[in-house]
Amino acid sequence: MRIPRILHIDADSFFASCETVLNPRLQGQPVYVGGGRNGDGIVIASNYEAKKYGLKIGMACFEARRLCPHGILCRPHYSEYRRLSLEMFRLLRRFTPMLVPISIDEGFMDMDQMDRVFRCRNLSELAHQIKKRVHDEIGLPITMGIGCSKLCAKLVTDCSKPDGLREIPPNGEAEFLAPHAVEKLSGIGRRRQRALKAFGIETFADVFHTPRRQLEKRLGWIGTQLWLLAHGLYREKLTHENDVRTCISNNTTLARDESDYDKALLFLHTQTEKILLTLFRENLKAWEMSVAVRFNDFSEESVQLKFTTPQFELSPINRAVERLFTRCVHGQSLPVRQVRIAFWNLTPLNLEPDLFGNPPELKRHDLDRARRKIEENFGQDAIISGTRLLLEQQGKSLRHDKVKCPFVPAREMAEKLGKLE
């Protein structure tokens, strides 16, 4: 069996690096990006120059200013970050048929045999080329780690930051891992950390010296995984994970507290539209839904309902949304801070024609296909719904640009990657 060669890439201080790409005069200066509604709430990213002054993610921007008075605070440009992320993944996609983005700036690549395909002496040489191209063509610094599994490759990256590149050969994984704390491994949460500590295990060297059976008994499958990793035997093939979706939700803080409930409802309708499109494209409809409203004193009202037949069409769902929203704000006078909508109890769409002709789902599919074609040719904003148009006109202040990975990492992957060609 071939030994997997998995490359993990992670852009360094992604948002801050993007700001430097957008404004090259920031090069070499301490830069940090502020989050929150006005872009000056908390630090959501800082480059390494700023980190030297003690700036950390989650710190208040005024604190960051005190620590690093000459640091440059940038307001976030989320749509630009998404654009640069997409450019980066497009470039990476040229080097492997199997690329799995896991967040806006992070992903795994299956590099098995790719050094031969690209006529490089070895994988490290090819990785260096990729890194250089991302830097030269997009302007982003990235760190890369190569190993036999996603877990190991990611740990290699974490240990090589910033701007590093390291390959651990299959027979060197045990030696590489030995001095590292087990808690550095992704997926090891607090509870497991405590269990491991109680067991006297802190590093992979400790795992190495613990009998496999004992680990399995205490930790189940994770115990086996850790034991295999510590012995350099853990292998993992890269696949597009396809978890079955059980619910879908959207939770958005409005750009400002809204005391006009009609506008808040309009905003909720636009969020519903987005979420329904995703649900529909995953061939699902929902039996149950809920709407929650959080007010500016952080009190919350939520209502849920069960449909008599599963729903996927916008109009009946929008009517339900309106009803639930009205119940949430009934008797309230406080401005709305946040709205949430969720669908669960999902069931597949009926996409087979039957005795009575095409079901409504199938008809909607044709419509959606046409919509996609228009979007492909004229851009994402080519089609604007009535509710969104109203929001643009009446509630400009509620327009929201949330940061999201340009891909849905575990879902729709094959299709999205297809479009990258």
Closer Cβ to Mg ion, 11 or 254, answer by number: 11
Closer Cβ to Mg ion, 11 or 226, answer by number: 11
Q: Which of 19, 106, 236, 258 is catalytic?
A: 106
* Nearest-approach distance from CB 131 to Mg ion, in angstroms: 14
* Nearest-approach distance from CB 40 to Mg ion, in angstroms: 22
Of 14-22, 240-248, 250-258, 294-302, the segment contacting Mg ion by CB under 5 A is: 14-22
Closer Cβ to Mg ion, 108 or 295, answer by number: 108
* Nearest-approach distance from CB 11 to Mg ion, in angstroms: 5
Looking only at residues 243 through 262 of this chain, which bind Mg ion when binding is defined by CB under 5 A? Answer: none
> Interface with Mg ion includes 10 (CB under 5 A)?
yes
Looking only at residues 259 through 298 of this chain, which bind Mg ion when binding is defined by CB under 5 A? Answer: none
Closer Cβ to Mg ion, 31 or 391, answer by number: 31
Residue-wise burial string across 334-349, b where 16 or more C-beta atoms lie within 10 A, e elsewhere = ebbbbbbbbbeebeeb
* Nearest-approach distance from CB 103 to Mg ion, in angstroms: 8
Closer Cβ to Mg ion, 10 or 258, answer by number: 10
* Nearest-approach distance from CB 14 to Mg ion, in angstroms: 5
Of 13-21, 49-57, 122-130, 235-243, the segment contacting Mg ion by CB under 5 A is: 13-21
Residue 106 annotated in active site: yes
* Nearest-approach distance from CB 104 to Mg ion, in angstroms: 8
- Residue span 82-121 as binding mask against Mg ion, x where in contact by CB under 5 A, dash where not: -----------------------x----------------
Of 223, 230, 221, 166, the closest CA to residue 199 belongs to 223
Closer Cβ to Mg ion, 85 or 96, answer by number: 85
Q: What gap in Å lies between CA 327 and CA 329, rounded to an integer?
A: 6
Residues that bind Mg ion (CB under 5 A): 10-11, 14, 105
Q: Which residues are catalytic?
A: 106
